[in-house]
Amino acid sequence: MSAGSTGIDEAYYPPFPWCLVKVYNLPKTKNVTVKGYIDTGSDGTIVTTDMDKKLGLQRHPVMLAETTGIGGKPEERVLYAAIFIIKGMEIVTAVDIRDDVEEVLLGRDILHHLRLTIDWKKRTIDLRDP
Amino acid sequence: MSMEKLLKEKEAYRKIRSELLEKSKGKWVAICSGEVIVQGDEFGEVVKRAYEVTGGEVFYVTKVGEEQRVERRVYRNR
């Protein structure tokens, strides 16, 4: 992935690795390009309500899931279909739309499709189609 | 409306689950109007094909026999 399309955000502590992702709605009629923060500790991908407003993701619910944060109570939530383009790879997944996050968090539902190398010392991210 | 339809399709899946366990265990399935409309090995392919088949209607997707595993999300950064 070219320089500028990945990075490590030092505004967070610890710093948070990210990559640019293009996200489409299921009909592929609308898309947005955003920073996706690489969240290897999360099972699933989370998007913001702002992204939902732009893409209309809520028109395509596909699953129900029991979701929990660490120490939180389980909550049944609807997950919506979305298409992510990363390094030319198209990955369809079911995302949680949340009003309590400000970032797009890429979970292992997406990351397990990719080869991901993080060099924390050099502050570089390499994402590839394996 | 979408949510009601999703719940209805999930309930329909529950009714046919035992039958599906015999012939489609381990497959991703998409349910619409109470029936399996698409099945396959990859979530993404099933979702895209189901969208084409239904023309945009709401459908419910799960993995037969592994519902609890795939219908669960733990978030550690939240």
3-class secondary structure, A109: helix
Cβ contacts of B60 on chain A, cutoff 8 Å: 62-64
How far is B22 from chain A, CA to nearest CA, in Å? 22
Q: Is the pLDDT of residue A112 over 70?
A: yes
B15 part of contact set with chain A, CB < 8 Å? no
- Name which residue leads in pLDDT, B78 or A58: A58
- pLDDT 10s digits, B19-77: 999 999 999 999 999 999 999 999 999 999 999 999 999 999 999 999 999 998 888 76
What pLDDT score does A72 carry? Answer: 83
**Entry pTM:** 0.94
Q: Check: CB of residue A125 under 8 Å from CB of residue A38.
A: yes
Quote the domain boundaries for residue A24. Answer: 6-128
Residue at A1 is within a domain:
no
Mean pLDDT of all residues in A63-86? 93
Q: Is the pLDDT of residue A129 over 80?
A: yes
- Tell me the CATH number at A105: 2.40.70.10
What pLDDT score does A102 carry? Answer: 92
3-class secondary structure, B49: helix
3-class secondary structure, B22: helix
Cβ contacts of A44 on chain B, cutoff 8 Å: 73, 75
Q: Tell which residue, A53, A54, A48, A46, has the closest CA to residue A30.
A: A54
Mean pLDDT of all residues in A14-28? 96
Residue at A75 is within a domain:
yes
What pLDDT score does A69 carry? Answer: 87
What's the CA gap between B23 and B21, in Å, rounded? 6
Overall domain count for chain A: 1
> ipTM of this predicted complex?
0.93
Q: Check: CB of residue B41 under 8 Å from CB of residue B28.
A: yes
pLDDT band for position B78 (cuts 50, 70, 90): low
Domain ranges for chain B: 2-70
